[in-house]
């Protein structure tokens, strides 16, 4: 009976045997490390392109890659066979954010390291790269904009109304600047576009509501760096 299970759970290759313990050890390592990657992705992702399926894919992909690497081992024949089989699969899902691609490659790399039994390299690499990605997120590395968003609306030409608009902007914005002002439509209404830097980004909806409540305001939209608000 013991020999039966040894034959069933063991995979012999050119350099030795991969036991069921080794397989479980590699898969568990891939699962734990990919959970860290997915957690960081969920916590640091900004914008409208966030997808739950990407977060789940990061975990599953690492496990699948680890399993593939365990099956391939040191066999060139297996590698070409799996390459040919996987080449039949066509992926047509567009990736909206380049950071999603980074995390997917990260998950693949961890799966490869775990599948080749380089668990120490997988663990250290995961910790270091996660720390770097967290740092880039915290310091907002590469950010160039000095404003948080853009508010655009139409209103009739009225000096009193413009003063009320400026009062609302002063109440909620640390900085604002008029990008353009032009006549829009045959009703002599004016279209305004302001760049704004919020005192508190959590009050962006309140700013939009206060401007919309003014008489004559129409077609207001507030486009923030991370969200779009259209009351």
Using CA atoms, how far apart are residues 105 and 205, in angstroms rounded to an integer? 36
What's the pLDDT at 231? 44
What's the pLDDT at 214? 86
Helical (H) or strand (E) element with 132: helix 119-138
Calculate the CA dihedral of residues 29, 35, 37, 39 and round it to 10 degrees.
-160
Flag residues of the chain having pLDDT under 50. 4-5, 7-16, 227-231
Side-chain half-sphere CA neighbours of 58 within 13 A: 25
Contact 170, 163 (CB under 8 A): no
Beta-strand runs (E) in the chain: 11-12, 17-18, 149-156, 173-183, 189-198, 218-224, 228-229
Question: What are the structure tokens assigned to 27, written together?
Answer: 């898969």
pTM over 0.75: no
What's the pLDDT at 31? 93
Q: Nearest-CA neighbor of 125 among 56, 33, 57?
A: 33
What's the pLDDT at 48? 63
Return left, alpha or beta for 188; rule: phi > 0 is left, psi -120 to 50 is alpha, else beta.
left
What's the pLDDT at 36? 93
What's the pLDDT at 92? 61
All residues at 6 or more sequence positions from 30 whose CB lies less than 8 Å from its CB, including other chains:
62, 63, 65, 66, 110, 111, 114, 115, 122
What's the pLDDT at 3? 54
Q: What is the pLDDT of residues 72-109, one digit of tens each?
A: 876 666 666 666 555 555 556 666 777 888 888 898 88
What's the pLDDT at 137? 84
């Amino acid at each position: 009976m013991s020999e039966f299970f040894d034959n069933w759970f063991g995979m012999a290759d050119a350099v030795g045997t991969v036991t069921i313990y080794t397989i479980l050890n590699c898969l568990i390592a891939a699962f734990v490390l990919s959970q860290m990657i997915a957690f960081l992705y969920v916590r640091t992702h900004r914008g409208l392109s966030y997808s739950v399926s990407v977060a789940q894919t990061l975990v599953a992909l690492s496990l699948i890659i680890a399993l593939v690497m365990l099956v391939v081992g040191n066999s060139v024949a297996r590698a070409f066979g799996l390459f040919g089989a996987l080449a039949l699969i066509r992926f047509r899902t567009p990736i909206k954010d380049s950071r999603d691609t980074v995390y997917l490659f990260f998950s693949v790399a961890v799966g490869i390291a775990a599948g080749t039994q380089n668990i120490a390299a997988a663990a250290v690499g995961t910790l270091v790269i996660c720390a770097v990605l967290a740092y880039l997120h915290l310091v907002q590395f590469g950010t160039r904009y000095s404003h948080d968003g853009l508010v655009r609306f139409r209103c009739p030409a009225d000096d009193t109304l413009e003063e009320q608009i400026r009062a609302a902007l002063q109440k909620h914005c640390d900085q604002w600047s008029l990008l353009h002002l032009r006549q829009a439509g045959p009703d002599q209404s004016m279209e305004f576009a302001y760049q704004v830097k919020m005192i508190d980004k959590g009050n962006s909806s309140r700013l939009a509501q206060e401007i919309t409540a003014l008489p004559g305001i129409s077609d207001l939209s507030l486009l923030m760096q991370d969200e779009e608000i259209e009351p």
